[in-house]
Amino acid sequence: MIIAPFNFKGTNVRVITEDDGTPWFVGKDVCDLLGYTNSSKAMGDHCRGVTKRYPILDSLGRTQEARVLSEGDTLRLIVNSTMPAAQEFEAWVFDDVLPTIRKTGSYQRPMTPGEQLLAQAQAVINVERQQAEQQVALERIETRVAIVEQVRYLDSRPAGFESMTTIRERISLRHGMPPWVINAVMRDIPGAPLPFAMVRSKHADEGAQPYPIWPTADITRRFDRFVAECTFVTAERATHPDIQQGRFKLRLRTSA
């Protein structure tokens, strides 16, 4: 992605261009130019696209997660603005900026030295963040692989243990939780439980692979604790600090 700040009548508006040339306008910049006093409310009231965020450095060098807007949502903000500059801004965006982006891949106004410094710093931060995330993920995988290699193999599943398929079905009924959240709790987020053992399939001769099992009681406690850490946003939607995708379906339990 390329971020290019440009100036319209003394107001900076930043546009981010993806590798395929798709432009995304920084929502707050557009709202400020169009006279919206509450940018979050304006975007919530008028924008209909999928919420998309992008890390951007502010004037103090801090990384901020800024909401960015598609062409359609940018136009919706323009047509709902009462500012006299709205019509002129619309013509400039759609007659000048967007054709230039589609032709060259980015808006070609030369950046100031300060903007170049911020862009370079942002690129370095993004690379370092990606490297750190990759290292953490690799260490986590290596640790889990080392432990899994020591897991015992059984010929049959003992009582009081369940497979991943059974866990999904039971936890979904117990908490009204979607399968993707159950998968995340079991595999991805901190504290994910390791299998107790691997059970050999009765159809191993036909190529079927062993499957992992977990103690039913431990899994029940694991998910009950996860639910207790959730914050309900609505009666049936909640968030959790370790689930980065945002809100998910969850049923509030009133009794054990």
DSSP letters for 156-176: SPPTTEEEHHHHHHHHHHHH-
pLDDT band for 143, please (50, 70, 90 cuts).
Answer: low
Distance from the Cα of residue 183 to its chain's centroid? 16
User: What is the Cα–Cα distance from 94 to 25, expressed in whole angstroms?
Assistant: 12
**pLDDT of 224 higher than 80:** yes
Report the candidate in 105, 86, 103 with the shortest Cα–Cα distance to residue 15.
105
Q: Give the per-residue pLDDT at 256.
A: 47
Average pLDDT in the 24-47 region? 87
Q: What percent of the chain has pLDDT over 90?
A: 22
Most confident of 41-55, 101-115, 151-165, 191-205: 151-165
Residue 94, judged by CB atoms within 10 A of its CB (0-12, 13-18, 19+), counts as middle
User: What is the Cα–Cα distance from 67 to 26, expressed in whole angstroms?
Assistant: 6
**pLDDT of 102 higher than 80:** no
Q: Look at strands 152-154 and 197-199 and give their pairing.
A: parallel
Average pLDDT in the 131-137 region? 73
Please report, as a single letter, which amino acid is at residue 245: Q
Angle formed at CA 174 by CA 180 and CA 233, multiple of 5 degrees: 65
Q: Token pair 């965020």 is at which residue?
A: 53
Angle formed at CA 17 by CA 69 and CA 59, multiple of 5 degrees: 75
User: What is the Cα–Cα distance from 239 to 256, expressed in whole angstroms?
Assistant: 21
Give the tokens for residue 119. Answer: 């862009």
**Of residues 82 and 166, more confidently modeled:** 166
Q: Give the per-residue pLDDT at 107.
A: 46
Give the tokens for residue 204. Answer: 């191993």
Residues 6+ apart with CB under 8 A from 120: none
CA distances from residue 140 to 133, 137, 144, 198 in whole angstroms, order as listed: 11, 5, 6, 20
User: What is the Cα–Cα distance from 123 to 63, expressed in whole angstroms?
Assistant: 11
